[in-house]
Structure 1
């Protein structure tokens, strides 16, 4: 966070959400939970570097050096940048938790049940998701054979909105809904690839659909 940027105070946030409709409150909850998931994942990735048990570019870790008896490899030093990044992430996580608590208070003050918001998060529903595709050859309601099994096998991040894919066409940003991403993954993989292979395959497909790399052909857009 830059020195000129200040987080919204809890009092201001509580006042602002009073003007939001119920659907907008649902979207705000999903947005906050998505941010929390991103930050928690980031901290998990940064932790080995912050603790000095791993160094960048695949350098030898303390454990590996001890196992091989490599006297020329010194103990990796804790990365101060990673330590600071984790500290900042944790501060943001606290603020996001406070915002969820404020939204819950607002929801219950309106006489609604917070359980509805909890169940929505557990089911991975997204109010911004598009309607299922119409029936096509070899599929029903846009689902192809093997789609459901692939979605069960893939990492939840592909379907809960953590991983997002979109494109810029004629200056308009269009984000793909989680359901569409899951279908693309199922089509690419046939349910036989692991998460990393699914990601690479999906990226290759996006690259091919995006054109020839020179901004021509394909859909005429740039993928995000």
Structure 2
């Protein structure tokens, strides 16, 4: 019985490296490219700082962020504890549209944008006059609790209950009453009267006694 010999395998052509070596090289290139890209991103993110400097910077940023969060929390807590104050709603005066079609504008100007259009007989809420006295400030939504100002010209609306205007009658001037002043009289001033001094006594006058001749003649 004859046996056949196995023919030797044909020699390899080219003599290249084995397949497993090529796979290892490819994996090294892929991972190397990946880590190189991560390093470039870290470099750009840290601005060229080293690992220690970048870590310190991150800690500073985190501390500042935490402080801002605490401040915001405190501010929100204070706002939550504060009670809102109610804004007083301005007094509403009823006006009626006095023309067939009235334009409501967003600003007190004839060139302003149109906010609405009303018809004759519609009631509007007027809260006052604008600085430009030709325009009224109107509450665009009187059902809400806040003022939504729009404007209407004074020629298209009138007050439902107008306030009576005072007449232009002149105020009477006050009357002047002349009070006559008393004139001085021609009464002479009183003359001084002689007053006797009680310390002075009258000197007695001597009495004349009759002589004998006078007595004889009288007999």
Calculate the TM-score normalised by the size of structure 1: 0.16
- Normalized per residue, the structure richer in strand is 2
Structure with greater helix percent: 1
TM-score by length of 2: 0.17
Structure having the higher Rg: 2
